[in-house]
Amino acid sequence: MEVRPDQLPRQLEAQPLARCYLLAGDEPLQVLEAADAVRARARREGFDEREVLHAEPGFDWGRLAAAGASLSLFSDKRILELHLPDKGPGKPGSAAIVDYAKNAPDTTLLIVVATPMAASARKSAWYKAMAKAGVALYAWPLPGNRMAEWLRRRAEARGVTLDAEANTLLATQTEGNLLAAAQEVDRLALLHPGQRIGAAEVAAAASDHARYAIFDLPAKALAGDAAGALKTLARLRTEGVDAVPIAWALTRETRLLYQAALAARSNRLDAMLSKVFMPPARKRQIGAAAKRTDPARLARLLQQAAALDAVNKGAHAGRAWDDLITLTLGLCGRPPRTPSIHRRPDPR
């Protein structure tokens, strides 16, 4: 069967433990928490041993069949976890998973974790074989109404209640990022244990939070407020915030603006924005910027963002904070500067 992440807890309570679970999708937090829930249920049923396989390039897929067929040294039952790469298992892996699913032993619980994974993989033979042999869960990004419900349940599980205004504000601030939303709910639960939380408490908790300054940065840049955006960037650097999440926020905004600018050129802007969960004011800001921005300039800016990502990962030498200034000014509509990346000399 196939279930949504919010359906899995009820399925685990009401149904016998399946032999196979496929946990995949675009929301890593939901996938990983689903894996925790399956493991917890399995341990209650005596699955005390756990073996983890990572299907990296060059992985020997014969290990999957061998692990399923071998006997445990320490327990009658065990959990076998298979973590797939972004590109999926490939042809040899697909065949191995299909074969395992058809002959899954009762004493071994197989959990396949794939995050992220292309939605097209749901049509593959291995995905269908896993769903037929057990339970398949795919975590899609949450639309606005389900995001609000997810936040409400999350808060209640932490012993606090979000009123409607607080729920909406928190969903707006975190912009569909479940990991950021989960962290903020945990923070609110620590600040206001057992209480009903309103918008004022959410705003107060966020007022000195560097992460919201990160979200504020691209908004200022889109508004053309270069001075304000650079001031925010300087404050983040002074506070010791890492360059990586700032680069992520600027790149995310640039990519969204690029898609909107392309849509505006083909008269599809309203349809494109209707599929994006964000406050109406933000949509208006994105829409206005998209109509006046050249997609080609944004494409060049995204290339610079990719180069900055290489610097952050250590693949190239460069000055990350200088390149963050370049991205910020580019998003403000200023002419892009030459990035600070210096390629390593060719050893030849």
Alpha helices in 158-242 (DSSP H): 164-174, 178-191, 199-207, 210-222, 226-238
138 membership: H or E segment, kind and range: strand 135-139
CA 124 to the chain's CA centroid: 23
Same fold, 144-208 and 211-332: no
> What was the pLDDT predicted at 335?
64
Tell me which of 3.40.190.10, 2.60.260.20, 1.10.1660.10, 1.20.272.10 is the CATH number of domain 211-332.
1.20.272.10
Q: Which positions of the chain have pLDDT values less than 70?
A: 70-75, 175, 206-213, 277-280, 335-348
Class for domain 144-208, per CATH?
mainly alpha
What are the distances in angstroms from CA 160 to CA 188, 196, 346? 8, 6, 57
Which of the listed CATH numbers 3.40.50.300, 3.30.420.40, 3.30.2310.20, 3.40.50.1970 matches domain 2-139?
3.40.50.300
Q: Which residues contact 206 (CB under 8 A, 6 or more apart)?
A: 173, 184, 212
Q: Which residue has the tokens 């060049």?
A: 300
Question: What are 54's strand-pairing partners?
Answer: 83
The domain ranges of the chain are 2-139, 144-208, 211-332
Mind listing the pLDDT tens digit for each residue in 217-264?
888 888 888 888 888 888 888 877 788 888 888 898 899 999 999 999
pLDDT of amino acid 340: 46
